[in-house]
Structure 1
Amino acid sequence: MIVLDCTLRDGGYYNSWNFPQHVVEQYLQAMEAANVNIVELGMRSLKNEGFKGAAGFTTEDYLDTLPIPTSLKVGVMVNASELASAPSLEEALDSLFPKDADKSKVDLVRIACHVHEFEQALPACVWLKERGFLVGFNLMQVAERSQTEVEALALAASKYDIDALYFADSMGSMGPEQCKTIITWFKKHWNGAIGIHTHDNMGKALQNTLTAIEEGVTWLDATVTGMGRGPGNARTEELVIEVAALQGKNVNLVPLMAIIRSYFQPLKNKCGWGSNPFYFLSGKYGIHPTFIQEMLSDPRYSEEDILAAIEHLRVEGGSKFSFNTLDATRNFFKEKGKGAWSPKSQILGKSVLILG
């Protein structure tokens, strides 16, 4: 089993990828002590906006400043949308990865793909493997896809030398049984390593990850305190305990718990990631968790407003986040009047928001 901690990449959605240098150094030592195998230290991006901290670009110069323990492999993530929109895939990759793996601190490159981007992004695997990198592909929103679609994705992947084919529970809507089913669909055509990246909207991130292990999944994502977009992910401090037990190993949690106390827990208290009823509803209704994250951070939204917006997105569809959709949703329920979340609306097991 391979535990991949992606705190500095996924957690960056809360602090614009701005992690203090001394925190990163403590984090690396904590990951080594906790038997983590790979640390995904951030993004590699062709864009210049949206990132304030070094983990937004994870440049070679930045990586050279870090005391990375020899036991840890280093990963970075690239968005397939950037590769797909580039005039030349090869030129884009050459810009993102100017050094081959043997001269770079980067060992693993993961490409995050929506389903419609997957086949267009797959040739990047050839370029990266020729330069010595491990390559992973993270398929997003797979839990919302049919058996035919998932099996087709697995068949396309089988034609490439991918080190790990991940599926992400992007909406946090998946349960253990669906997790098992999706893995079965992947195995129809994909014989390589499978990875899982879970979200904790409904409090099932760790449960789904452990279920995936039982079904033969070997690459496991987690983040410290679950720090990640929306409600966050499976928590590294819990997953490493479970993996150590399965492997019959000891795990040293002292450095990890120390940095949680000094940095991550105070930041969590400030930023508010973690499951709550709003995120639970977003998972239940297939609504992108960024809608919730944005509303929770915006003082214009009261509890009534958020619940009204969730109901509107449930009806109209909210699987893809955009600020335009969020603004349109706010304008809709403002015109209709404030929403009221009523217990009387609990009909046939469905939670319905009454606008009036």
Structure 2
Amino acid sequence: MQDYSVNQFLELAKTPKIEIEVCDVTLRDGEQMPGVVFRPDEKIDIAIKLDEVGVEIIEAGFPVVSEAEMRAVRDVSNLGLDSKISVLSRSVPKDVDAALACDVDMVSVFIATSDLHLKYKLHMTCEEAIKSALETVEYAKDHGLIVRFSAEDATRTEFNLLKRLYKKAEECRADYVSIADTVGIMNPRTVYFLVREIKKVVKIPICMHCHDDLGLALANTLAAAEAGAKQLHTTVNGIGERSGNTPLEELMVALRVHYSVDRYDTTKLTDLSKLVQSYSGVMMPKNKAVVGDNAFAHESGIHVAAVLEEPRTYELYSPEMVGSARRIIIGKHTGARALKYITKKMGYDLKRDEICLLAERVKRCSEFKRPISCDELRKLIHDLDIEIVYPDL
């Protein structure tokens, strides 16, 4: 039996089957988040966990940045993982040389293509940028690398230019073309349209790289997959510059729930999330989807009563599916049934009137705006001045 009920609207909406692979860019784009730096040993730990989850491609870094970065990427490349190892490269041959020195499988050659970036960042004409990019793509292919060509700020690039550029990249033997929504300007409708139009121009796989400036990165990534994009880009916990990227854990659960993509080991997602939180110093909000502390926490009496009877009443999927656990919280909204369950687990067998009295004391204590710990609950039980029966456990 599945952990979740199939949504009837998926069938009514004729949700398409999708063919995808995941490229996680935590070790590169995630590290571009202000204040985040992964040590070489930390990159190795994260890469191993990503591989265990089943991520097809790991973008391990930007080797031309420094000798230390190059060594770290080389160490990841030499782990012998099932995941292919990719790195970032500007549209210059020396960046490709740095990638080659790291023994990687794949290189992501990028250049900005919007008028805004050409004028104010690159100070190049469009023709100069295209020439540089295509020459670098060919250079990387001549040296045996899998090549992804990425148009930075693609979603603010003149549409006909973008289509011509992707076509030229394909003619130069690029293996993928990548749409970078660099400032997160898109929405699911515009992403779907864009990917469908690019598919009319190129036969090679399309990648979607979304940023979360409007909180739409996950929705846009799923829209791209429905439109036919093959490679979907993520970071663990959605970390990255500004508002971050598409969160890996949210994407993988959405792929399983909505599209029946079940080849990834989602049971490792919570541990992976905690590992990246520890190494990055970026803690997740308690209400973060999938991996937040409250993702499977229940306090409301009505909810708890239903969950204790049948977890699916208030859980779309089981906590075990993502390597987490259900938590019953003791607080203002905790009802008598939940308290009966909790106290029984703690070894007490309280009568109904005792449970009701305890519930009132819990509500008074919770006015201090925090949940009550088991130790505090135990003290409240002993303060009831009743005869406590301890069942055989």
Normalising by the smaller structure, the TM-score range is 0.5 to 0.7
Deviation readout 1:50-89 (Å, 9 max, x if unpaired): xxx94xx334x75237763531110000123xx2xxxxx4
Deviation readout 1:198-224 (Å, 9 max, x if unpaired): 011111101111111111100110000
1:70 maps to what in 2? 81
User: Helix, strand or coil for the counterpart of 2:59?
Assistant: strand
1:191 aligns with 2:189: no
Which amino acid is 1:5 matched to? D
Change in Cα spacing, 1:216 to 1:250, as seen in structure 2 (3 Å) is closer
User: Helix, strand or coil for the counterpart of 2:149?
Assistant: strand
1:163 maps to what in 2? 175
Deviation readout 1:250-291 (Å, 9 max, x if unpaired): 533344322422442672249xxx9xxxxxxxxxxxxxxxxx
Larger Rg: 2
1:218 maps to what in 2? 230
Offset of 1:15 from its aligned partner? 5.6
1:120 maps to what in 2? 132
Which amino acid is 1:39 matched to? I
Deviation readout 1:146-178 (Å, 9 max, x if unpaired): 332222223322321111100111111101111
Q: Identity, % of aligned pairs?
A: 24
Offset of 1:23 from its aligned partner? 2.7
Provide the TM-score with structure 2 as the length reference: 0.58
1:75–1:110 CA contact under 8 A, matched in 2: yes
Q: Following the alignment from structure 2 to structure 1, what is the Cα–Cα distance between the partners of residues 35 and 62?
A: 11
Q: Give the alignment partner of residue 19 of structure 1, picking from 38, 46, 49.
A: 38
Q: Following the alignment from structure 2 to structure 1, what is the Cα–Cα distance between the partners of residues 32 and 59?
A: 14
Offset of 1:109 from its aligned partner? 0.3
CA RMSD, Structure 1 to Structure 2 (Å): 2.8
Q: Following the alignment from structure 2 to structure 1, what is the Cα–Cα distance between the partners of residues 237 and 160?
A: 36
Which runs of 5 or more structure 2 residues have no equivalent in the other structure?
1-19, 114-125, 289-393
Q: Give the alignment partner of residue 144 of structure 1, picking from 126, 144, 156.
A: 156
Equivalences for residues 204-353 of structure 1 within 5 A: 204-245=216-257, 246-264=259-277, 267-269=281-283
User: Helix, strand or coil for the counterpart of 1:135?
Assistant: strand
User: Helix, strand or coil for the counterpart of 2:269?
Assistant: helix
Deviation readout 1:291-313 (Å, 9 max, x if unpaired): xxxxxxxxxxxxxxxxxxxxxxx
Q: Deviating runs (4+, > 6 A) in structure 1?
A: none
1:39–1:72 CA contact under 8 A, matched in 2: yes
Which runs of 5 or more structure 1 residues have no equivalent in the other structure?
84-88, 275-356
Q: Following the alignment from structure 1 to structure 2, what is the Cα–Cα distance between the partners of residues 247 and 58?
A: 38
Which amino acid is 2:194 matched to? I
Which amino acid is 2:281 matched to? L
Q: Following the alignment from structure 2 to structure 1, what is the Cα–Cα distance between the partners of residues 217 and 263?
A: 23
2:111–2:152 CA contact under 8 A, matched in 1: yes
Q: Following the alignment from structure 2 to structure 1, what is the Cα–Cα distance between the partners of residues 62 and 236?
A: 17
Offset of 1:143 from its aligned partner? 1.4
Aligned residues: 251
1:79 maps to what in 2? 90
Which amino acid is 2:264 matched to? V
